[in-house]
Amino acid sequence: MVNTKKNVVRSSSPNDGGQKTKANWDYKSTENFVKACLEQVSKRERVGTSFTKKGWNNIKAQFHNLTGLKYEKAQLKNRYDSLRKDWRAWYNLFGRETGLGWDLVNNTVVAPDEWWETKQLVCNRKKCYFVSLRYVYPCFLYDEL
């Protein structure tokens, strides 16, 4: 199957050796994925921390409609799990902090350099990756997930 879109997962068939393209998650596709997930949350298609089979099918369909990308459920679930991990790290770093801002143009946290240096020192002792979150997606969008 020939696709003009970049990073579209091809369906497995005997003719193509069953190979699939690796999912590529840019900012816009992540945003659309989160929107699709949030819609299923509002429709109560999530049980605990995972979606129902119907919920995943709806997410796949809506994500495809929004982006044109046909990712498999496993690829979407991997992204979901990755976003949840990012959100936990985000919350541990920023969730209880006050006096921080958000730069809508650059999508970054606005904090004094001293705050970042303190966090970097704390994180280096714990061997965590919090410092790299300075330039990630606005994880507060994932609170509902």
The confidence score (pLDDT) of residue 130 equals 46
**Is 39 contained in some domain?**
yes
63, 69 in Cβ contact below 8 A? Answer: yes
What is the pLDDT at residue 103?
81
- Identify whether 8 is part of a domain: no
121-139 pLDDT per residue, tens = 666 555 444 444 444 444 4
Residue 6's alpha-carbon distances to 10, 33, 55, 79, in angstroms, are 11, 17, 26, 18
Whether 4 maps to a domain, the answer reads no
* Strand segments (E) across 18-86: 46-47, 50-51
Q: Would residue 71 count as lying in a domain?
A: yes
> Which long-range CB contacts under 8 A does 36-41 form with residues at least 24 apart?
36/62, 36/63, 36/66, 37/80, 37/145, 38/144, 38/145, 41/144, 41/145
Q: Is there a domain that residue 48 lies in?
A: yes
Please list, in sequence order, all residues whose beta carbon lies within 8 angstroms of the beta carbon of residue 27, skipping any fewer than 6 positions away.
107, 137
In a domain, 5, yes or no: no
Which domain range does residue 132 map to? 14-142
Average pLDDT over residues 30-54: 93
Predicted TM-score (pTM) of the model is: 0.65
Which tokens is 125 given?
A: 């002792």
With 60 as the cut, is the pLDDT of residue 76 above it? yes
In a domain? residue 6: no
Higher pLDDT, 2 or 32: 32
Flag whether 3 is in a domain: no
**Bridge-partner residues for 101, per DSSP?**
110
Residue partners of 91: CB distance under 8 A and separation at least 6: 139
CA distance to 27, 55, 63, per residue, from 97 (Å): 25, 34, 33
Q: How many domains does the chain have?
A: 1
